[in-house]
Amino acid sequence: MVAKYDRTADTLDGTAIDNPMMKNNGSKCPAPENQVNMTVGQNCPGYEPLVSGTMESSQCVVSCNSCRNFKDHRCVVDLYDKVLARIDDSK
């Protein structure tokens, strides 16, 4: 019996297509990690969507995870803590 070779599985491992952060109903938008990142993203003046183009970007959930300035789970323009503090102060 010859084992069936699954070329698709071998070629997608480690790519953006296989990355769970990039899977969101077939969209190019990363899924939000948590409610805090969504709240910060929605209140951040520096939010820049990863996906350009009106149709695709309108389908993205606004979150730090879908922002160009959020890399390796960190805000590279140092707005995350400032926005979070402002949200906490408003409660």
For residue range 34-74, what is the model confidence (pLDDT) as tens digits? Answer: 899 999 999 999 999 988 765 555 678 899 999 999 999 99
Residue 48 lies in a domain: yes
Please state, in angstroms and rounded to a whole number, the distance separating the CA atoms of residues 52 and 73: 21
> Two tokens at 47?
């939010």
3-state secondary structure of 71: strand
Among 46, 33, 57, 38, which residue's Cα sits nearest to residue 82? 46
Q: Are 61 and 29 in contact (CB under 8 A)?
A: yes
pLDDT surpasses 70 at 32: yes
How many domains, in total, are found in the chain? 1
Task: Provide the domain limits for residue 81.
Answer: 7-89
Residue 1 lies in a domain: no
Against a cut of 0.85, is the pTM above it? no
Residue 2 lies in a domain: no
Return the number of other C-beta atoms located less than 10 Å from residue 49's C-beta: 17
Among 30, 15, 34, 25, which residue's Cα sits nearest to residue 67? 30
Residue 45 lies in a domain: yes
